[in-house]
Structure 1
Amino acid sequence: MTEQLALPDLEAFWVTRGALARHVLAVPELGCVYVKNPKAGCSTMTLWLDRAYTGDHDFLPERVHKDNRLPKPRDIGWRKVVRMLDGAAYRFSFVRDPLARARSTWYAKFVLQKREWGPRLQPVLGLEVDPDTPLTFEQFVSALELQDPLSEMDPHWRPQHLNLMHGAVTYDHIGRLERFDADFALIREQAGLPDVPVFIPNSRKSGQPDPYDGRPDLVRRVEAIYARDLELYGY
């Protein structure tokens, strides 16, 4: 007999239950559970689920992760959420090429939003906290190498298999951001989800520098950090 999933199995991947709750979007009315994986279409999917759930296709908040109207696990009840993740609902998520995800995280958080995010990693490197100084990509990689993936890394840059609670949750489909349209069409068909238009709120492809250019050593270091993701998701 297959052992049933239990809440402690999920909590083992998160420092607090609050962090777990923020990353599990269970929608009983749609019969699905989306597990958030930051920097892999997370904002897009959260906004889409909100629009599908509410029927408000024009909803476009500034902070979709905080201001969405989706049900919270505490309102649904954790027992039901766990059952949904254990097979009582359609379970899906998205992953992304780990090298591209690391580059995107660094650029978004430590260049464009350096004042908010820089002070979070500067102390890890023994640097004086200075919100006006962006981290270089190499400094970002060095900080990641010093952090414990499970307990210290922020979900935006920790390995994706931890965000997806690999080994505890079995998915009906894990899409790739690189083929988002095709994978999401498949997910919608398999799960019987409504035909709601997709809007991509955080698209910053243009103007991003390539920090790997001429630096195979940085490629190797990032690959080492995300070795398990590369293995599991076939990148």
Structure 2
Amino acid sequence: MKLHLKYKCILPSAIFLLLTYYIYSQYFAASFKHTSHQKSKKEPVAEATSYSKLSKINESIGSQGSDLMSIKSENNANTLKKISWYCESDAHLRELPIPTRMYNIPFHNLSLTLIAKVASTSWVAFLAQTSLSQCMVHLDKPSVGYASLHQCVKANLDTSSDNRRDNIRVVFVRDPWKRLVSVYKDKIVKQRFVQAASCYTRWNISRESNAESKNNPNLSFIQFLTCISEMGRNNPNWLDPHYRPQYLMHGPCSAGYTHIGKLEDLSNDFVYIMKSAQPSISDKKLAEYKNIFFGGPRRPWEVINDGEKSKKYQQYYADVSNDLMAQLQDIYKWDVMLYGYKLHPLTPVS
């Protein structure tokens, strides 16, 4: 009983340390100078050419197959094909020359890159809890070789850039237009985003007066998008990780990903990823993992008022000018093309 209570006391600390490390690694990445990246001496392939090729690949993708695994496998193969096209061009030279940060989890045969505002907190909590549980089970076995629970958890949540090649390598992505709305609602509306200080300065808005307005912030969504456009038009690498283009952060050409998941189909992709990493996983264990991942408590700032909750994300873009949208499309176009999202948020779903 005493041992059990000891582990319960360690759990919050382990998760807190892991979250702290993740947040630090995200912001540390932005400190690397882009000037260390040498330009290619060969004539660059025109981005328009690669963009056109990816458009044709997107049009050819269909949902064939009779079961979840075959459908997901085919869609994943098409996404990896598009990434291959992209990496053959010089467009990928815009990626920051930094090591790709992955969580390497041997218990799951999984290496996972996390991106801000793409279920990253849920993944951290899931990995911390399941790795801790595995360590508690195996800690007393001499063959494991860990002197303490802390050492075991740390070793099995390694974030070194020396990725384990026997693991499947995964990154989850999200519709960039939905991601921007999520950042606005989570960080601006809820007053949790100190990194947006430059936006308040840009529009001569007091953050103190904005805090008093609660769910009706003085910084509008269009003003927020304008700040992103102005900051990211020359070098989107310097945008905050919460709204920096996803392709710039996870190193699609250097990490050797085997699986690309989408937040929009997280439930099915979670099953696909776990079955791919552990082909012999039982239905019982898979159900247990899903319950841990999707059954956790919601964070306080995720609870929004009914009006904001029912507001569809497209409504946020209804008054965005064509010029501003064109600038945003230029910043996020590779997120759109590589992962098969809409170029304009108001485009009807076909």
Q: What's the TM-score, normalizing by structure 2?
A: 0.50
Q: 1:215 to 1:181 in 2, by over 3 A?
A: same
Counting only pairs closer than 5 Å after superposition, residues 42-57 of structure 1 correspond to structure 2 as 42-55=120-133
The one of the two structures with greater contact order (alpha-carbon pairs below 8 A, sep at least 6) is: 1
1:15 aligns with 2:47: no
- Post-superposition Cα deviations, 1:202-224, rounded to whole Å, max 9, x if no partner, equal 55585244311354635544333
Partners of 1:110 and 1:117 within 8 A in 2: no
Return the alpha-carbon distance in structure 2 between the equivalents of residues 109 and 168 of structure 1: 31
- Post-superposition Cα deviations, 1:147-198, rounded to whole Å, max 9, x if no partner, equal 2321x21111000111211211121211111111111100000011753222
Return the alpha-carbon distance in structure 2 between the equivalents of residues 215 and 186 of structure 1: 37
1:142 aligns with 2:226: yes
Partner of 2:335: 229
Partners of 2:104 and 2:163 within 8 A in 1: no
1:71 aligns with 2:157: no
Q: 1:40 to 1:77 in 2, by over 3 A?
A: closer
Counting only pairs closer than 5 Å after superposition, residues 175-186 of structure 1 correspond to structure 2 as 175-186=261-272
1:211 aligns with 2:316: yes
Shift in Å, 1:96: 0.9
With 159-168 and 112-121 compared, the bigger mean Cα shift is at: 112-121
Q: 1:70 to 1:175 in 2, by over 3 A?
A: farther
Q: What's the TM-score, normalizing by structure 1?
A: 0.72
Q: 1:28 to 1:111 in 2, by over 3 A?
A: same
Return the alpha-carbon distance in structure 2 between the equivalents of residues 145 and 98 of structure 1: 14
Rg (Cα) greater in structure: 2
What SS class does the counterpart of residue 172 from structure 2 fall into?
strand
What SS class does the counterpart of residue 88 from structure 1 fall into?
coil
Q: Which amino acid aligns with 1:26?
A: N
Gaps of 5+ in 2: 1-25, 33-97, 135-151, 211-216, 342-350
Gaps of 5+ in 1: 1-10, 57-68
Return the alpha-carbon distance in structure 1 between the equivalents of residues 111 and 198 of structure 2: 30
Q: Which amino acid aligns with 2:334?
A: R
Partners of 1:26 and 1:71 within 8 A in 2: no
Return the alpha-carbon distance in structure 2 between the equivalents of residues 14 and 216 of structure 1: 32
Aligned pair partner of 1:107 in 185, 199, 204: 185
Q: 1:23 to 1:43 in 2, by over 3 A?
A: farther
Partner of 1:190: 276
Return the alpha-carbon distance in structure 1 between the equivalents of residues 187 and 177 of structure 2: 16
- Post-superposition Cα deviations, 1:80-128, rounded to whole Å, max 9, x if no partner, equal x4232xx3322112111111111111111111125645425334x2635
Return the alpha-carbon distance in structure 1 between the equivalents of residues 193 and 277 of structure 2: 41
With 168-177 and 188-197 compared, the bigger mean Cα shift is at: 188-197
Q: Which amino acid aligns with 1:14?
A: A
Return the alpha-carbon distance in structure 2 between the equivalents of residues 76 and 45 of structure 1: 14
Q: Which amino acid aligns with 2:154?
A: P
Question: What's the Cα RMSD here?
Answer: 3.3
Shift in Å, 1:37: 1.1
Q: 1:38 to 1:23 in 2, by over 3 A?
A: farther
Q: Which amino acid aligns with 1:232?
A: L
Partner of 1:161: 247
